[in-house]
């Protein structure tokens, strides 16, 4: 019940800000960064541990553990001026009256501030644990929208996906179509030491098996053999056998979908990396639309690459 009340407070704050018509500057900061305002004792104590454990959780589907958010701690005395324009803020203040509320666009726009009060670290840490899912979800959506805003500044003008599959994705102009067949499109962007990739294809609509994870793995491996070759003769992309993918039932563009996150590798070659795969149900056309992003960037951090691919896929729209 407490969480429902907090959501209402957040919405009410957002609505009242429209009436104020006050000027706030644009928010700033690196993507997926959270500013944590607390003193050094709190940061090194149980409160700092709670923030790291509950907010900076592991980003699923990467070869090495990486936090979902990068945390930047600031002492309250340093939380002034430019620092207050961060997009995502956790603000802790010692007070005899314990409380937690969410504030939208308090110092900048867009911005979310999670504000905690309490007489000791343990109490505020408990508030963090109780509301971590809510806070994470709001921060993630804030960052997704910011990434899309940046992408739209230099959006690709290709119509390949619309012409072939009657769908659209919002992606940067640095991505170029490298393979376009009857029922398969591969779009690629060069990055340091590798590439970011998007592939789209369709399959006939069939009843989902009792083991959808196995079905998706077999589907990926078949498509990899047909269309995604490796560097060596006879090599092709497959789902990595040793890594158990994550599978979620979800929605994309209001349609039933299966989301799979895991690792790919190239059979008969030394290439591997993370992937995110959406299998979207298109009942009107009696088919599944498959949209997948995968990264190849040896020895580099993958979180921000996969965040970009996830954000692009989240823009999926089927044309009327």
Distance in angstroms (rounded) separating the CA atoms of residues 149 and 61: 25
pTM for the structure as a whole: 0.90
Phi, psi of 194 (to 5 degrees): -175, -150
Averaged pLDDT, 45-59: 97
pLDDT band for position 255 (cuts 50, 70, 90): very high
Percentage of the chain lying above the pLDDT 90 cut: 82
Q: At 165, is the secondary structure helix, strand, or coil?
A: helix
Q: List the Cα angle 148/149/154 in 5-degree steps.
A: 90
Query: What are the pLDDT digits (tens) for 5-28?
Result: 344 344 434 444 455 567 889 999
Beta bridge partners, 264, equal 239, 273
Q: Could you list the beta-strand ranges (E) of the chain.
A: 33-37, 70-74, 88-94, 99-104, 112-118, 167-168, 176-181, 184-191, 194-204, 236-239, 246-252, 255-267, 272-282, 287-296, 317-318
Distance in angstroms (rounded) separating the CA atoms of residues 81 and 168: 40
Phi, psi of 294 (to 5 degrees): -145, 150
**Does residue 96 carry a pLDDT above 60?**
yes
Distance in angstroms (rounded) separating the CA atoms of residues 121 and 48: 9
Give the max Cα distance, the chain: 69
Q: In the 8-state DSSP scheme, what is residue 43?
A: H
Query: What are the pLDDT digits (tens) for 205-251?
Result: 876 666 778 888 999 999 999 999 998 999 999 999 888 888 999 99
Both tokens of residue 168? Answer: 């659209």
pLDDT band for position 73 (cuts 50, 70, 90): very high
Task: Report residue 277 CA to chain centroid gap.
Answer: 13
Burial class (CB in 10 A: 0-12, 13-18, 19+), 30: exposed
pLDDT score for 167 = 97
Mean of pLDDT over the chain: 91
pLDDT score for 5 = 39
pLDDT score for 130 = 97
- Domains in the chain, ordered, with CATH? 2-152 (3.30.379), 160-318 (3.40.1000.10)
Task: Report residue 313 CA to chain centroid gap.
Answer: 10
- Residue 276 vs residues 48, 67, 196, 224, 252: alpha-carbon distances, Å: 31, 17, 12, 14, 13
């Amino acid at each position: 019940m407490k969480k429902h009340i907090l959501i209402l407070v957040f919405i009410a704050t957002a609505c009242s800000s429209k009436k104020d018509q006050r000027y706030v500057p644009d928010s700033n900061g690196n993507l997926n960064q959270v500013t944590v305002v607390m003193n050094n004792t709190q940061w090194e104590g149980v409160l700092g541990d709670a923030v790291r454990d509950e907010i900076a959780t592991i980003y699923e589907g990467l070869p090495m553990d990486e936090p979902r958010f990068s945390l930047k701690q600031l002492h309250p005395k340093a939380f002034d001026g430019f620092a207050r324009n961060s997009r995502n803020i956790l603000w802790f203040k010692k007070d005899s009256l314990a409380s937690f509320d969410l504030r939208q666009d308090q110092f900048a726009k867009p911005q979310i501030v999670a504000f905690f009060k309490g007489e000791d670290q343990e109490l505020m840490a408990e508030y963090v644990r109780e509301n971590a899912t809510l806070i994470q979800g709001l921060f993630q959506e804030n960052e997704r929208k910011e990434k899309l805003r940046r992408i739209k500044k230099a959006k690709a003008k290709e119509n390949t996906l619309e012409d072939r599959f009657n769908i659209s994705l919002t992606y940067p102009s640095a991505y170029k179509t490298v393979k376009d067949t009857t029922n398969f499109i591969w779009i690629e962007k060069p990055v340091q030491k590798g590439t970011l990739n998007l592939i789209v294809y369709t399959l006939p609509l069939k009843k989902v098996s009792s083991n959808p994870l196995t079905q998706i793995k077999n589907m990926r491996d078949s498509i990899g053999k047909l269309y995604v070759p490796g560097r060596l003769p006879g090599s092709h992309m497959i789902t990595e056998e040793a890594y158990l993918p994550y599978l979620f039932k979800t929605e994309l563009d209001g349609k039933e979908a299966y989301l799979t996150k895991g690792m790919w590798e190239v059979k008969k070659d030394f290439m591997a990396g993370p992937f995110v795969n959406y299998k979207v149900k298109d009942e009107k056309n009696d088919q599944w639309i498959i949209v997948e992003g995968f990264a190849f960037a040896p020895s580099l951090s993958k979180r921000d690459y996969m965040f970009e691919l996830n954000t692009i896929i989240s823009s999926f729209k089927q044309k009327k």
